[in-house]
Amino acid sequence: MALELRHLRYLLAVAEHAGFTRAAEELRISQPTLSQQIKQLENTIGVQLLDRTGRNGVRLTDAGETYARYARRALHDLAAAERAVHDLADLSRGHLRLAVTPTFTAYLVGPLAAELHARHPGVTLDVKDMAQDRIEAGLLADELDLGIAFAGPHLPGISASPLYAETLSLVTAAAVTAAADSAAADSAAADSAAADNAVPAAGPLPPLPVTALADRQLALLSGDFATRGHIDAYLEGHRVRPRIAVEANSVQTLTEIVRRTDLATVLPDAITEDHPHLAPLALEPPLPTRTVALLRRENAYRSAAGRAFTRLARRHVLARGYTPA
């Protein structure tokens, strides 16, 4: 019997589900057919690949583990080959699989996707938001082409190219900041008038000492966001424990809450630049910056669509004046 690609897919499906029933359902074939195909594969190779006698379901034998590892690699390479064949350098068509950590959906992905579509309408874009560890795992498994996340320790085989340095500030509703500005101006005017009857022009509020956050109620992103971990580490480092009145697992939800209340939050400055109803307030000392990076798998095929997206991202960062990495 000639070995066919379906045999590799069948073996990997049985191994993933530890049995024939669910694997057959996923593959949309009958269980007897699946069992017969796996048996044909074993006969062709001349070795038993599956142990069917275990109490906890079907599992790969030692030989099966070795064979499955190469089978996965072969299927990934063939998928990459198909993408390379269909990828045209003139970008009249193409496909890009992109994943980003969730905060970037609030300000970065929209403009980049819009520009990619405007310049290369034949390129389709599949965007997912997920945690950074899942992005890196997806890149290594060849399930993604590019990721946008943060520089730092990465899984072996992941390459990171810096894009810009992300800065964060305390954020309140613009009306709240305006009221604070007015109160500060009134206080300054009173002090000045008492001295020489001159009223200085109101200026921006000075940085807020981080210790002042102990008296503030905050609305923050939930703990599954990398940004929340960054904020918590900053607060803990300065021994400040503010009252967390609201936690949200969406940046959009968080900004809507803050704009309608007197609660403060902490967000990347790039988000507040696109929201006139929000106002940033610098903290002292400032929150540490984070390096935003484009992630890819080392030695992976770099499609024309991926190269075009990378160029667009770098141009966008420069045009918006984001802090260089």
DSSP of 255-311: HHHHHTSS-BEEEEHHHHHT-TTEEEE-EESPPPPEEEEEEEETT----HHHHHHHH
Give a yes or no: residue 278 inside a domain.
yes
Residue 72 shares a structural domain with residue 216: no
Structure confidence at residue 96 (pLDDT): 94
Residues counted in the chain:
325
Pairing of strands 278-281, 168-173: antiparallel
Task: Using alpha carbons, list the distances in angstroms from residue 227 to 136, 218, 265.
Answer: 17, 14, 12
Residue 71 shares a structural domain with residue 112: no
Residue 254 shares a structural domain with residue 172: yes
* 55 C-beta neighbours (distance < 10 Å), count: 4
| pTM for this prediction | 0.68
Residue 182 shares a structural domain with residue 202: yes
Q: What is the pLDDT of residues 19-46, one digit of tens each?
A: 999 999 999 999 999 999 999 999 988 9
- Please give the backbone phi and psi of residue 252, each rounded to the nearest 5 degrees, phi first: -60, -45
Pairing of strands 290-297, 146-150: antiparallel
Q: Write the DSSP string, 220-234.
A: EE-TTSHHHHHHHHH
pLDDT above 70: residue 48:
yes
pLDDT above 80: residue 177:
no
- Mean pLDDT along residues 62-78: 89
Give a yes or no: residue 236 inside a domain.
yes
User: Which residues partner with 44 through β-bridges?
Assistant: none
Q: What angle do CA 115, 118, 124 make, to 5 degrees?
A: 90
72/110 Cα distance (integer angstroms) = 34
Domain-terminating residue out of 67, 84, 101: 84
Number of separate domains in the chain: 3
Give a yes or no: residue 265 inside a domain.
yes
Q: Are 127 and 110 in contact (CB under 8 A)?
A: no
Query: By three-state DSSP, how is residue 157 classified?
Result: coil
* 145: CATH: 3.40.190.10
Q: Write the DSSP string, 38-100.
A: HHHHHHHHTS--EE---TT--EE-HHHHHHHHHHHHHHHHHHHHHHHHH--TT-SSEEEEEEE
* 210: CATH: 3.40.190.290
Kindly report the average pLDDT of the chain as a whole number.
87
Domain-terminating residue out of 23, 56, 84: 84
Give a yes or no: residue 325 inside a domain.
no
* 224 C-beta neighbours (distance < 10 Å), count: 10
Percent of the chain with pLDDT over 90: 63
- Please give the backbone phi and psi of residue 64, each rounded to the nearest 5 degrees, phi first: -65, -40
Q: Are 293 and 226 in contact (CB under 8 A)?
A: no
pLDDT band at 276 (very low <50, low <70, confident <90, very high): confident
Residue 184 shares a structural domain with residue 277: yes
Residue 75 shares a structural domain with residue 180: no
Give a yes or no: residue 220 inside a domain.
yes
39/37 Cα distance (integer angstroms) = 5
Q: What is the pLDDT of residues 236-256, one digit of tens each?
A: 999 999 999 999 999 999 999
pLDDT band at 87 (very low <50, low <70, confident <90, very high): low
Residue 161 shares a structural domain with residue 173: no
pLDDT band at 150 (very low <50, low <70, confident <90, very high): very high
120/305 Cα distance (integer angstroms) = 9
Name which residue leads in pLDDT, 101 or 186.
Answer: 101
pLDDT above 90: residue 77:
no
What residues make up the domain containing 47?
5-84
Give a yes or no: residue 17 inside a domain.
yes
Residue 159 shares a structural domain with residue 199: no
80/144 Cα distance (integer angstroms) = 11
Structure confidence at residue 202 (pLDDT): 44
Residue 182 shares a structural domain with residue 260: yes
* 44: CATH: 1.10.10.10
Here the tokens at position 154 are 């990465």
Residue 314 shares a structural domain with residue 254: no
Query: By three-state DSSP, how is residue 30 classified?
Result: coil
281/207 Cα distance (integer angstroms) = 7
Query: By three-state DSSP, how is residue 213 classified?
Result: helix
Residue 109 shares a structural domain with residue 77: no
Structure confidence at residue 188 (pLDDT): 42
74/51 Cα distance (integer angstroms) = 23
Give a yes or no: residue 176 inside a domain.
yes
Residue 129 shares a structural domain with residue 148: yes
